[in-house]
Structure formats: structure tokens, C-alpha cells
Chains A and B, each alone.
Chain A
Amino acid sequence: MTDTAAANAVDYLLKRHRFRPSEALPWVLAVAAFFVFPDYMALGTQVLIAIIFALSLDLILGYAGIVTLGHAAYFGVGAYAAGMLSAHGGWNEPLTGLVFAGACAAIVGFLSGWVLLRYHGLTLLMLTLAVAILMQEMANAAEIWTGGFDGLTGITIDPILGMFDNDLWGHHYYWYSLAVLALMFYVTRRIVYSPFGQALVGIRENVGRMHAIGSPVHRRLVTVYTISAAMAGVAGGLFAQLNAFVTLDVLDFARSGAVMIMIILGGTGRLYGAFVGATVFTILEDELAKISPEFWEFGVGLVLVLTVMFVQGGLLGLWDKVSSRWIKRSA
């Protein structure tokens, strides 16, 4: 290999991992939102939690090609784990509570993934749905622990780092959620750009070929599924800490469907698709519910249909198209 080729190779590797300036945009916007819309921080926190949840789904759906209709199972496990740790365990420290939520969801993700990921297509889709329904029924049956249909109450969360409590305006929890999102995003980005991340894309694009090049496909799928479940569990844990209340809704099919819609809206397998999709979905949901509390889903559905029909690759795909045309014209 020539010196030039070697230099190109090194440059290529550096470029692949390098944080591009445009990647700062969502973070700048998130910080700016705090100062521009200080009265909307409760909604802002919900958006951030939705982004973490959507990011966890993007890791398995967008990169590994695992289609699931039951991702809420892990969000719910995380929510109940964080809630029950406080309500029944008396452990109210929020950061360790989140770690516990993520760990519990990871265990459930590992055990269910070990079985589920031996299947694919429609069978896998139905099994993921079945796992979420089973979890919901278990939560309903274990009323003494979960509060069943009435919900889990008695959650008391200590101030974050002993200083920042869950204030009425949601300011502290906004920063708390943003910090957790930054950590989750860092982990996801590292995974996506690692050889392991490339193997996931390989599995998505041609699973047979991955077997033939010696890749332990099932092990890799279970690994990423477990990581994704842990992230969804962290999102659920944050949700429980924010609301100090958990109901069976956290395990509902509607939540699994919503997070799927977020990813499709934003664009799958693009990291920032989760940011765009979750933000648009949550704000649309909030605004349309104000206009029509009964028919807000129609508006979200319409946007989804239009996106799927006319914008390949979600809203980020649209942005790519428009910007590349603009660059071509100006050149």
C-alpha cells in the first residue's frame, strides 16, 4: 500500500468518528429551548424522554433491522423498576434509580431477545407484541407491587445530586433529562460507528452473508437488543421519576406504536432521526390535543401517511434532498 493510500485510510477512519459541526445543532436548539420557552419545560422534558426511547428503537430497527411492536415492554419495565424501587424499596436516589431501571430492562431484554431473535418476519413481529402484552398482564396481575389498574403511587424522588428537586416548572428535570440523553446518545453513536455497529448494518442488509463471513449473528442481535432494552428502560425510569406515578399505559401497545411512528417520521438508521421524529410527534400530539382532544391522532396519522408516501427516509431524508438540491443549484 502506498503512503498516500495509508494516509487516506487514516484520514477516513478519523473522519468516520469525528463529531461534525452540524451535529451540534440539536444540542444548541435543546439548550436554546430552555431560554426561549421557559414555560414549556415540562413538555420539553417529555420530548427528551421520547428521544431517548426513540433512539433505543432506532438502534435495533434502524441499524440491526429488528422490527418490533413491543418496545414499550422495556420502557414499562424501566418505569416500574424505578417506581417500585422508591415506592417499595425506599430507595429514592434518582441516578442509581435510573441505573436500576436500565439494568432491569436489560435483563428482560436479554431473556426475551434470546428467544425472540431466533425468529424473523411476521413471527418476530407477533412475538415482540406478545412480550409487551405479557408484561402488561403481569403488571396488572401483580397489583400488590404495581398498583395494577390504579397505578403505582408512593414514588418519592430525592433531589438530583442532592440539590435539584423536581420543581413545578420542570426546569431541573429538563437539564437532568438532557444530560441523560447526551449520555445515551454518546453510547449509541459509539456503537453505531464501531465495527459492531457495522456488523449490525451488515445483518440488516444481508443476514446470510454475515453468517458466511463468520459473524455470530444471533449473539450480536441479542447484544444490541439488550442494550436497546436498557436504554428504553432508562427512558421509562426517567418517565417514572418525572411523574412520580406509573400506570399500565407505560406497557401499552399504543406506546410501542408511537415510538415506531416517531422513528419513521424522523428517518430510521440516522441517529438524529430519533431527535426529529420524537420532537415533531410529541409537539404535534400536544398541539393537536389542544385543538381536538378526541381527534388529535388523525393529525398525527395524516402527517405519518404523507411522510411515508412522499418522503423517503423520513423528515431527515427530506432535509437531505432539499439541501443537496440547493447545493447543486448554488454550484
Chain B
Amino acid sequence: MLTLQNVSAGYGETVVLESLNLELATGESLSVIGRNGVGKSTLLATIMGHTELHGGAIALNGQDISSASIHHRARAGLGYVPQEREIFPSLTVRENLEIAARPGPWTMDRVMERFPQLVERQSNQGNQLSGGEQQMLSIGRALMGNPSVLLMDEPSEGLAPVIVEELQKALSALRDAEGLTIILVEQNAHLALDFSPRCVVMDRGTVTFDGASEELKTDAAKLDQLIGVSAS
């Protein structure tokens, strides 16, 4: 489905990811955790084509997309939920969704069904939404493009605990019911490890752990050693 082979990438001359290898199967979900500044967001940005690829190759569904432009990658099946949400402020909720619509199983009705909070707010402008609603909208907008791989960059950031709980439920439903391939980058280790059975830990631009989330959930010392934060 999605393969990264010896990927080195960064911003301009600065290299952030170094010889990174990663492989995801269709329908698989993956959580990416790590300390601040280790390259988690850069990983998603690189898959999406926002950074400069210094070496290696990225393939989606067997097709090399290493040199494809951002909008071609999106059309090839990548959906991206950015950390800052980046809702179009002067468009309504419905327009924010419509703007990204591409043919496929994800329609306006299905997105509204998955995120019922958006139904009542569909005529509101993007800048009139709460942080949680904006996050739902950002995910919904990515789904409207009918991606085969969904990349989510710290969706829980800045949200109240009760909203994070709601978000967690929505993400789990996406993972279980829709058969999407999902990469979730998260600072919140609990959320990340609960979300996906497979987990990747990054440090200094490379993968230092790729294995079962359960292993880290039950071994607080190892998690602490890997990311410096106890899971207990």
C-alpha cells in the first residue's frame, strides 16, 4: 500500500528524516510517537510532498510518487489532516467539505453521518467553529477526497479532554469500520497506543521502534526509555 524506502528528507538543505524505512498494508493503522522535534510531522509532510526529498523513494499502491506534485499525491489517494487544521475560515462547513469532494464512497452524507456534530453547524463559517468541531471538519474534509491512506498530524492537540475522548471514538470507528489505511502522529502516547495495534517510535529523524503497541503499553520503562514519558 504505502512504502518508504531509505527516505531522507527535510526543509531546504536541512535534513530531518534520515534513511527512514516504513511499510504499511492496506487497511492497516499505524501510530507514530516520539519526543518533540524528532521528525514525526516531517514524516507526514514528506509523504505528502511538502518537504524536499533528498534520497530514497515513496510508493503508493505500487506507484512511485517520490517526484509527484502535492495535488497529484492527493489525487493518487493520500488524505492529509494537518496539525493546524487549516479550515477555510470564510467558507461554511458544507463548503469546506464540498471543496475537497472527489468521487468515491465518502460522500457529504457519509461524512455528516460519521461526524454528526457537523450537521447542525453546516451553515456556519469555518471561523465560527470550536477547536473540536474544526478538527472533525478537517478530518471530514480529508475523507471527502476519498483517500486510500489518511495521514493525521496530532489531531488531539489543543483540545479539551472531553473532546479528545469524542475524537478518539470517531478515529476508532474510522479505523474499524472503513478499512482505511491510517497513519496517526500523536504527542498523546495513550491515545496513540490505544488507537493502533502497531506503533512506530521516532528519534532524530529515524525509526527506533516498530512493533506492537501492546508491548509499549505494558512496559512503561521501555516507553519511558524511547520517548522519555511514562505511559502509566
> Which residues of A line the B interface, CB within 8 A?
1-2, 5-6, 8-9, 12, 195, 198-199, 201-202, 205-206, 208-217
Binds A, one of B6-14, B95-103, B219-227: B95-103
CB of A313, distance to nearest CB on chain B (Å): 12
Q: Which of B31-39, B57-65, B108-116, B172-180 contacts A (4 or more CB under 8 A)?
A: B108-116
Instruction: Assess whether A198 is in contact with B99, with CB atoms less than 8 Å apart.
Output: yes
A296 to B128, CA, bound (A): 43
Q: Tell me the nearest residue of chain B to A213, going by C-beta.
A: B100
Q: 6 tightest A-B contacts by CB?
A: A214-B74, A211-B70, A213-B100, A1-B109, A214-B75, A5-B119
Q: Which residue of A lies closest to B89 (CB)?
A: A205
- The reply to whether B108 and A198 contact each other, CB–CB distance below 8 Å, is no
B88 in contact with A201 (CB, 8 Å)? yes
Closest to A199 in B: B99
Q: A209-B88, A212-B80, A214-B75 are in contact. Are A195 and B98 (CB under 8 A)?
A: yes
Picked from B99, B112, B119, the residue with its CB within 8 Å of the CB of A213 is B99
Known contacts A12-B94, A198-B91, A205-B90; A211 and B69 CB within 8 A of each other: yes
Q: How far is the CA of A116 from the CA of B116 in the complex (A)?
A: 43
B113/A215 in contact, CB under 8 A: no
Q: Which residues of B contact A215 (CB under 8 A)?
A: 71, 74, 99-100
- For this complex, 12 residue pairs linking A to B, each with C-beta atoms less than 8 Å apart, are A6-B109, A8-B119, A9-B94, A9-B108, A195-B101, A198-B91, A202-B91, A212-B48, A212-B74, A213-B74, A213-B80, A214-B100
Give the shortest distance, in Å, between A164 (CB) and chain B (any CB): 42
Q: How far apart are the CA atoms of A210 and B91 in the complex, in Å?
A: 13
Cα–Cα, bound, A154→B113 (Å):
66
Note all chain B residues with C-beta closer than 8 A to A9: 94, 108-109, 112, 122
Contact residue among B95, B112, B144 (Cβ-Cβ distance under 8 Å from A1):
B112
- Chain B residues with Cβ below 8 Å from A217 are 71
Give A117 Cβ to nearest chain B Cβ, in Å: 15
A209 x B86 contact (CB < 8 A): yes
Contact code string B75-93 (vs A, CB < 8 Å = 1, else 0): 1000010100010111100
- In the complex, the answer to whether B86 meets A201 with C-beta atoms within 8 Å is no
- Min CB distance, A223 to chain B, in Å? 15
Query: Of residues A199, A209, A212, which shows the largest number of chain B Cβ atoms within 10 Å of its Cβ?
Result: A212
A214 and B109 contacting across the interface, CB-CB below 8 Å:
no
Size category of the binding interface on chain B: 20 to 34
Q: Which residues on the B side are within 8 Å of A211 (C-beta)? A: 69-71, 74
Contact of B95 among A198, A208, A209, A213 (CB under 8 A): A198
Query: Inside 8 A of B112's CB, which chain A residues have their CB?
Result: 1, 5, 9
9 additional A-B residue pairs with CB within 8 Å, beyond A1-B113, A12-B123 = A5-B112, A201-B90, A205-B89, A208-B86, A213-B141, A213-B142, A214-B100, A215-B71, A215-B74
Does B155 have its Cβ within 8 Å of any Cβ on chain A?
no
Are A214 and B88 closer than 8 Å at their CB atoms?
no
CA distance A198 to B144 in the complex (A): 15
- Residues of chain B within 8 A (CB-CB) of A1 are 109, 112-113, 119
A210 to B96, CA, bound (A): 11
Q: Which of B71, B99, B109 contacts A195 (CB 8 A)?
A: B99
A residues near B123, Cβ cutoff 8 Å: 12
* Min C-beta distance of A13 to chain B, whole Å: 8
**B145 within 8 A of partner (CB):** yes
Within 8 A of A (CB), among B132-150: 141-142, 144-145
| C-alpha gap A208/B71 in the complex (Å) | 10
Residue numbers in B under 8 Å from A198 (CB-CB): 91, 95, 98-99
Q: For residue A6, which residues in chain B have a CB less than 8 angstroms away from its CB?
A: 109
Residues of A within 8 A of B89 (CB): 205
Q: How near does chain B come to A196, taking the closest CB pair, in angstroms?
A: 10
Asked if A212 contacts B102 (CB within 8 A), the reply is no
- In the complex, which of the residues B69, B119, B142, B144 has the most CB atoms of chain A within 10 Å of its own CB atom? B119
Give the distance to chain A from B200, nearest Cβ to Cβ, in Å. 22
Given A202, A208, A214, which contacts B102 in the complex, CB threshold below 8 Å? Answer: A214
Beta-carbon nearest neighbor of B72 in chain A:
A214
Please give me the residue from chain B that is nearest to A2 by CB atom. B119
Instruction: Write out the residue numbers on chain B whose beta carbons fall within 8 Å of the beta carbon of A209.
Output: 82, 86, 88
Determine whether the beta carbon of B122 is less than 8 Å from that of A12. Answer: yes
CA distance in complex: A42, B108 (Å): 50
Choose among B71, B74, B80 the residue with the greatest number of A CB atoms under 10 Å from its CB: B71
Knowing A198-B91, A198-B98, A212-B74 are in contact, say whether A206-B86 is a contact too (CB < 8 A).
Answer: yes
Q: Give the chain A neighbours of B108 by CB distance below 8 A.
A: 9
Contacting pair A214 B86 (CB below 8 A): no
Known interface pairs A8-B119, A12-B122. Does A201 touch B91 (Cβ–Cβ under 8 Å)?
Answer: yes
